[in-house]
Amino acid sequence: MLFIDIMQKILNTHTPMPYSLVQRALLNGKAGLMACLTLLMLAGFTTSVKAGGFATNFVIANGTPYSTNGAPGTFQGRSLGTFDRSGSNLDVLALSAEANIITNPGDNVQTTQLLYRIYRADNLDDVGSFIPLPLQQTSSNGNALKWTNTGAQPNLVSFASTPGTYTLQLYFQTTITNNGITSIVLDANNGDFYAATFIVTVNGSIYQPKAWKSANDGNWFNADNWAPNGIPNSNSDVTIPFRQGTGSGYPAINNAQAQVHNIIIQGTAGQARGRLYLTNSTLFIYGNYQDINAGLKPIKGTLYLFGQDQVIDASTLIDNVVIDGGGTKSLTGALTIQNSITFSGKKGILVTRTENADLYCVILQPTARIVGESEDGYVLGELRSSQLIGEGGSSDFGGIGVGLTANSGNPGTTVATRNSAIYYGAGTSVSIRRSFSFTASVATLQNFNLNFGYLNADLNGIQAANLLLFRSESGDVPFQPLYKTSSSSDAKTLTRNGITGAIAATFTLGDRTNPLPVTLTSFAAVAQGPNALLTWTTAQELNNSGFEVQVSTDGTTFSKLGFVAAVSPNSSAARTYQYRDVTANKQGTRYYRLRQLDVDGKENLFAPQSLSFGGALATSVNGYPNPFVSEINLSLQTAVAGQATVSVLDGVGRQVRSWQPTLAAGASNLVLSDLASLPYGLYVVQVRYNDGQTQRLKVVKQ
């Protein structure tokens, strides 16, 4: 009878069992090891014996030893480097080992091995069996024995035929007999085995191009269908071209999982495009995805975006999308989801372009949901969902972060769009980095509740306890405060019940201590003989005490001229205010600005306007709106008629727009259009009059 003792590190017990059965179980990996231990338990621990065991063992890679006991220089989790293979020329990653065994009296160490296997880190379904590397006893010191590899050292690079990251997994095994009992002792990391990785490049590149070439066989997993030959993996840059007259000869992934690094589906709009059929399957993409002509044909398919920083240059209809791997996933088209978009694992941020919500967005079909958004994984940009809501009904719009309940009225099919824009009010007041806009097919909603969800990443410096709900029917400033019914900083939600008025509006959250109002829509200074008339208009006001009018002769040091009280502290209607500067003997340029004061003492300053005095007629330039979006309305005044030059200068003084209007003496109005494409930031409008005078006005593009 042969006795086997499966031991980890030092000592376990043993049970009689055929040795060949145990050895086969061990060679089949962790599952086999656990099965073997189970057999031992079922057999019963009839006899106990003490046997020797391993001390510190070393894996030797290219002559460098790495220990298995967790000491400095440990093998576990190590990256062994990058190695190249070019044709028959292979870099060398030589594997060797040193086992150190402590024996007990009567022990006879018969054999010692390192068992190893190599597999692609992205293919855990094909890890293969362990390969034995025999060791020989090379020295002894009392009861301490050293076993090393004295034969050939395998080159691990030869096991890797394609570029990518590979896992080297291994464990040590020794066979010890004592008093007729044979024990197998393992150093196997508590059954999980030891593992390190190395990278293999081909001709210096970690990625290898793969082009679809089959005209008839649509099997993605047929290596002969690809050039060069081989099934794509996570290091393959795949191209699927349009094939004229080839019928259905395009790749199909059916009931399986496939991997690529980059993938491009070529062609043009219409029928002249490549195809990829994804049926009940998942395509893992570790790099970029380009399919601008919608060549992907999914049937219950999933795109799994597993890279760290990726570009999705596609307008695609897909059942499921999974966001994983961390980093940023940049979407350059429209991604329409039929079932779910899920943030999983390391997650990541899916970023859309924001200049056109119809072309660049994530669209959830009525049956689709977004799952797992959190601080480290979310959509940044445009996200849209459409739901049918009847009277008394409610919807969370597929989990995009907002809930709507119709208390009275019937909104019908309602589209909710989430946006990551920030809205700027007066002074330093801003919104959070999230808003929701609604359109309803039936405009009969009279009373509704809104539950607004957000992330800490959206707060834009605002304390959660200070959040209030605001609404804009124009989709931009000004916003009307709706306050709140309740809020929870833990749940990251704010609720406002019983809202009346328009649902077809934009809703965002602002700061009650620095609210979006007062919103100034215009501020102009015009000379009237020796005096100056200041006029300004507000779109809405919140907690407004009034306006202190200030003046300066150098544009830096301002003093108080007077004060204009607010009509009332709060207003959502447009109001116009005036102040006349009748100071005698005004000379040179005078700068006027407004200091808006809240009832609680907070203040905001509005950009100054300038006028020049001392001549027969003052020269001036004023403009509104400021900030501007697409155009600026200028009010000009000059003593001399003739052609002027009006320029828009960027922050470093470069001219980005120019006009040459002919002005009459006195007051003139000029519209500066075609400004929508300018980047956000500070600009200067410079006016050079016919008499040589030059005036400048600072403006902000938003």
Residue 33 lies inside a defined structural domain of this protein: no
What tens digit of pLDDT does each residue of 184-200 get? 999 999 999 999 999 99
pLDDT at 247: 54
Boundary of a domain, candidates 358, 377, 396: 377
Tokens standing for 32? Answer: 């086999």
Tokens standing for 96? Answer: 């060797």
Q: Which strand (E) or helix (H) includes residue 43?
A: helix 30-43
Residue 627 lies inside a defined structural domain of this protein: yes
Answer yes or no: are the C-beta atoms of 106 and 179 closer than 8 Å: yes
Boundary of a domain, candidates 581, 613, 645: 613
Burial 426-440 (b: 16+ CB within 10 A, else e): bbebbbbbbbbbbeb
Residue 224 lies inside a defined structural domain of this protein: yes
**163 pLDDT higher than 80:** yes
The answer on 419 and 534 residing in a single domain is: no
SS3 label, residue 173:
strand
With bands split at pLDDT 50, 70 and 90, how would you rate the model's confidence at 616? very low
pLDDT at 619: 63
Answer yes or no: are the C-beta atoms of 267 and 250 closer than 8 Å: no
pLDDT at 319: 95
More confident of the two residues 531 and 9: 531
For residue 316, which of 276, 355, 343, 356 has the smallest C-alpha distance? 276
Question: How many domains does one find in the chain?
Answer: 5
pLDDT at 516: 55
In the beta sheet, which residues pair with residue 113? 134, 173
Tokens standing for 591? Answer: 């700068």
Rounded CA-CA distance 455/114 in Å is 51
The answer on 500 and 391 residing in a single domain is: yes
The answer on 260 and 129 residing in a single domain is: no
Contacts for 331 with CB less than 8 Å, ≥ 6 apart = 312, 350, 351, 352, 353, 360, 362, 381
Rounded CA-CA distance 341/412 in Å is 25
Answer yes or no: are the C-beta atoms of 95 and 117 closer than 8 Å: no
Rounded CA-CA distance 335/357 in Å is 12
Rounded CA-CA distance 653/221 in Å is 59
Residue 51: how many other CB atoms lie within 10 Å: 25
Omega before 366 cis (within 30°)?
no
**3 pLDDT higher than 50:** no
Tokens standing for 98? Answer: 């040193």
With bands split at pLDDT 50, 70 and 90, how would you rate the model's confidence at 589? confident
CATH label of the domain that carries residue 586: 2.60.40.10
User: What is the dihedral sign for C-alpha 230, 233, 238, 241?
Assistant: positive
With bands split at pLDDT 50, 70 and 90, how would you rate the model's confidence at 243? confident
The answer on 228 and 367 residing in a single domain is: yes
**30 pLDDT higher than 60:** no
Q: For the purposes of burial, counting CB atoms within 10 Å of the CB of 288, is it exposed (0-12), middle (13-18) or buried (19 or more)?
A: buried
The answer on 183 and 113 residing in a single domain is: yes
Tokens standing for 309? Answer: 């920083």
φ/ψ region of 278 (left if φ > 0, alpha if ψ in -120 to 50, else beta) reads beta
Residue 15 lies inside a defined structural domain of this protein: no
For residue 418, which of 447, 390, 458, 371 has the smallest C-alpha distance? 458
Boundary of a domain, candidates 594, 613, 632: 613
Question: What number is the average pLDDT over the span 440-462?
Answer: 88
Answer yes or no: are the C-beta atoms of 80 and 198 closer than 8 Å: yes
Question: What number is the average pLDDT over the span 572-584?
Answer: 85
Answer yes or no: are the C-beta atoms of 119 and 106 closer than 8 Å: no
Q: For the purposes of burial, counting CB atoms within 10 Å of the CB of 261, is it exposed (0-12), middle (13-18) or buried (19 or more)?
A: buried
SS3 label, residue 653:
coil
What tens digit of pLDDT does each residue of 534-569 get? 998 886 777 888 999 999 887 778 899 999 999 888
Tokens standing for 352? Answer: 């859309």
What tens digit of pLDDT does each residue of 498-531 get? 998 888 899 999 998 876 555 676 788 888 878 8
Residue 48 lies inside a defined structural domain of this protein: no
**172 pLDDT higher than 90:** yes
Contacts for 601 with CB less than 8 Å, ≥ 6 apart = none
The answer on 500 and 441 residing in a single domain is: yes
The answer on 279 and 427 residing in a single domain is: no
The answer on 342 and 225 residing in a single domain is: yes
Rounded CA-CA distance 104/336 in Å is 68
Indicate the range of 23-37, 537-551, 579-593, 656-670 predicted with least confidence.
23-37
pLDDT at 134: 93
The answer on 624 and 691 residing in a single domain is: yes
Rounded CA-CA distance 117/95 in Å is 11
Q: Which domain holds residue 588?
A: 519-613
With bands split at pLDDT 50, 70 and 90, how would you rate the model's confidence at 467? very high
SS3 label, residue 255:
coil
Residue 76 lies inside a defined structural domain of this protein: yes
pLDDT at 434: 96
More confident of the two residues 619 and 148: 148
Question: What number is the average pLDDT over the span 127-153?
Answer: 93
Residue 439 lies inside a defined structural domain of this protein: yes
What tens digit of pLDDT does each residue of 206-226 get? 999 999 987 678 999 999 999
* Identity of the amino acid at 632: I
pLDDT at 4: 38
Answer yes or no: are the C-beta atoms of 73 and 65 closer than 8 Å: yes
Question: Phi and psi at residue 43, in whole multiples of 5°?
Answer: -70, -25
Answer yes or no: are the C-beta atoms of 438 and 416 closer than 8 Å: yes
pLDDT at 41: 39
Tokens standing for 42? Answer: 């079922």
For residue 114, which of 153, 73, 158, 155 has the smallest C-alpha distance? 153
**22 pLDDT higher than 70:** no
The answer on 238 and 176 residing in a single domain is: no
Strand-pair category, 282-285 with 302-305: parallel
Q: Which strand (E) or helix (H) includes residue 387?
A: strand 383-389
Percentage of residues in the chain with pLDDT exceeding 90?
Answer: 50
φ/ψ region of 475 (left if φ > 0, alpha if ψ in -120 to 50, else beta) reads left
The answer on 543 and 595 residing in a single domain is: yes
The answer on 197 and 213 residing in a single domain is: no
What tens digit of pLDDT does each residue of 42-63 get? 333 333 445 689 999 999 999 9
Answer yes or no: are the C-beta atoms of 18 and 30 closer than 8 Å: no
Tokens standing for 315? Answer: 């307008």
Question: What number is the average pLDDT over the span 378-383?
Answer: 94
CATH label of the domain that carries residue 406: 2.60.220
SS3 label, residue 36:
helix
* Identity of the amino acid at 493: T
Residue 8 lies inside a defined structural domain of this protein: no
Longest CA pairwise span in the chain (Å)? 123
Omega before 625 cis (within 30°)?
yes
* Identity of the amino acid at 365: Q
Question: Phi and psi at residue 309, in whole multiples of 5°?
Answer: -125, 120
**258 pLDDT higher than 50:** yes
CATH label of the domain that carries residue 626: 2.60.40.2550
For residue 318, which of 340, 288, 333 has the smallest C-alpha distance? 340
Answer yes or no: are the C-beta atoms of 698 and 684 closer than 8 Å: yes
